[in-house]
Amino acid sequence: MTKDQKDNLFALVKSLNKSEKRQFKLYVGRLGVNTDSKFLNLFTVLDKLKNYDEVSILMSTQIKKQQLANVKAHLYKQILISLKLNPSHQNIRLQIREQLDFASILYHKGLYKQSLKILDRAKDVAITNEEKNLAFEIVELEKIIEAQYITRSISTRADELTIQAKELSELNVITSKLSNLSLQLYGIILKTGYVKNEIESNEVTKYFKDRLPEFELSKVGFREKLWFYKTHLWYNFLMQDFLNCYKYASKWVDLFYQYPDMVNLNPVFFLKGNNYLLESIFFVNNKPKFLETYSKLKSRIEGSNFPKDENVQSLSFLYLNFHGINQHFIDGSFEDGLALIPQIEKDLIQFESRVDEHHKMIFYYKFASLHFGVGNNKKCIKYLDKIISNKSLSMREDLLCFSRVLNLVAHYEAGLDYHLDTLLRSTYKFLIKMNDLHEVQKEMIKFIKGLQDIYPQDLKNAFKALRDTLKTYENHPYERRAFLYLDIISWLESKIENKPVSTIIRAKYLAKKT
């Protein structure tokens, strides 16, 4: 058995809560012969271990080395069966699938009428709950049974099932095309971030339009609308059209409030919709709306009837904390944001197995930016180093690039200029390699490189000149993304006016409100 497979079983055992462990032991103990079984002994040993240790496992059980792979595979399967039977993991999809399995068994026993009765009920539940792939499977089985079980209304029934199968198939095709397109666009966002130039913009727009299926939105249901809004959201994020991002994220979230039962059935999509709604509001700098939306989401998550499984809990942790920090970037209240860091770092340990490297690095960038905002440049550098030194991070090229640019600025601010030349060269090479060297970055690197040749009395004028140059790019369709990661203009103005960055950002925020 490979190391990954060993880790998978160990991780599964360690993911079980007390209730699930008790359920598993009751499940395997229902037959007396299982009491001293090897797989149950293996479970007991794995549950006690802090780290996977094959030598310790073999010494603590009667399992021979050549038997271990099979015993582990059997244990893995039994745990999954037990979890499936646990009431906390029961949902509409599993219930429909279970009814479909029961109907199949009855069909193979020749009990056609009983099978059709179960299928008809399951189909209604599937359609009501927007499980149209399962509904299509049910209709296909109904067609097979109807071909063998002769009823008085066979002609009407045949027409009805044919029409139903066609309608479900068409809706499933629409959903499939939209979900494929959505996934591809999301993949581009994760890999490279926003479009960088007109060529990329044209390529993404053509890709989007060529693959967008044609249909009437008013004639489809929840599922098709959801994927339609998601697809448009990713496209507009790529294009940095944040007003349209807000539009489609709002439609996404509002859809769940139009179909309230869907929140418990699809809590992950509900959370993700709110996440992108908050992100859109953040980018358009509307803090009152941001706080209203954030408060509404937090109340919903903390409600007693909101799903509480591990996946939902980890996503709730990510989104509430990401946006808990983001609110402080809108108005420059960085000091307040710093207070959140210790608890988030503590929780990151708890969620270590459920939060991927990419999202951890986003936290570190946010931590670094908060510290930069209050002038804690050495602490800023400490968090940025976690990103820059992470050789396994292959996603979000833009995050990697701007981490290095902020790292340069923080080193200058901290007075750590003894190896600034080396940092400049490595940053420049990295940006060239990533094909991400844009005008804002060029101007920043050129400025920092030339700082050593500027007399102290001329420094303020140099900051003013760079600020004026960069402001020409502030609303540029492809250059403005630089300011989403690092508010370099506010930093320059803080140097010019000899004020903290937070004071500058706060003044800008208040000026926009009046």
pLDDT digits (tens, 9 = 90+) for 373-386: 999 999 999 999 99
Give yes or no: residues 124 and 80 share one domain.
Answer: no
Give yes or no: residues 81 and 102 share one domain.
Answer: no
Give yes or no: residues 10 and 65 share one domain.
Answer: yes
State the DSSP string of 102-148.
HHHHHHHTT-HHHHHHHHHHHHHHHHHTT-HHHHHHHHHHHHHHHTT
Could you give the CA distance from residue 277 to residue 285 in angstroms, rounded to a whole number? 12
Give yes or no: residues 101 and 123 share one domain.
Answer: yes
Which of 62, 89, 116 is the last residue before a domain boundary?
A: 89
Q: Number of structural domains, the chain?
A: 2
pLDDT averaged over every residue in the chain: 86
pLDDT range class, residue 4, cuts 50, 70, 90: very low
Give yes or no: residues 129 and 83 share one domain.
Answer: no
**20 located within any domain:** yes
Neighbours of 377 (CB within 10 A): 19
**240 located within any domain:** no
Q: Could you give the count of Cα atoms lying within 13 Å of 280 in the half-sphere of its Cβ?
A: 26
Mean pLDDT across 350-366: 88
The yes-or-no verdict on residue 371 having pLDDT over 90 is yes
Mean pLDDT across 216-244: 94
Q: Which tokens sit at 154?
A: 């066979």
Give yes or no: residues 79 and 8 share one domain.
Answer: yes
Which of 119, 151, 183 is the last residue before a domain boundary?
A: 151
Give yes or no: residues 9 and 38 share one domain.
Answer: yes
pLDDT range class, residue 1, cuts 50, 70, 90: very low
Give yes or no: residues 76 and 8 share one domain.
Answer: yes
pLDDT range class, residue 511, cuts 50, 70, 90: confident
Mean pLDDT across 89-105: 88
Mean pLDDT across 173-200: 88
More confident residue, 447 or 198: 198
pLDDT range class, residue 58, cuts 50, 70, 90: confident
The yes-or-no verdict on residue 401 having pLDDT over 70 is yes
Can you give the pLDDT at residue 37?
A: 81
Give yes or no: residues 54 and 13 share one domain.
Answer: yes
Q: Residue 133's domain is classified under what CATH number?
A: 1.25.40
Give yes or no: residues 34 and 78 share one domain.
Answer: yes
More confident residue, 351 or 295: 295
More confident residue, 293 or 4: 293
Give yes or no: residues 13 and 81 share one domain.
Answer: yes
Which domain does 49 fall in, by range?
3-89
Give the lowest-confidence range in 98-112, 187-201, 302-316, 331-345.
187-201
Task: Dump pLDDT digits (tens) for 20-47.
Answer: 888 888 888 776 555 558 888 889 888 8
**202 located within any domain:** no
Q: Which tokens sit at 62?
A: 């009667």
Give yes or no: residues 26 and 85 share one domain.
Answer: yes
**136 located within any domain:** yes
Which of 89, 104, 128 is the last residue before a domain boundary?
A: 89
**121 located within any domain:** yes
Q: Which residues contact 231 (CB under 8 A, 6 or more apart)?
A: 178, 181, 182, 185, 208, 212
Can you give the pLDDT at residue 5?
A: 43
The yes-or-no verdict on residue 363 having pLDDT over 90 is yes
Mean pLDDT across 122-150: 89
Could you give the CA distance from residue 383 to residue 192 in angstroms, rounded to a whole number? 22
**46 located within any domain:** yes
**461 located within any domain:** no
**180 located within any domain:** no
The yes-or-no verdict on residue 437 having pLDDT over 70 is no
Q: What is the DSSP letter of 29?
A: T
Could you give the CA distance from residue 239 to residue 205 in angstroms, rounded to a whole number? 9
* Burial profile 434-462: b = 16 or more Cβ within 10 angstroms, e = fewer: eebbbebbebbbebbeeeeeeeeeeeeeb
Can you give the pLDDT at residue 393?
A: 63
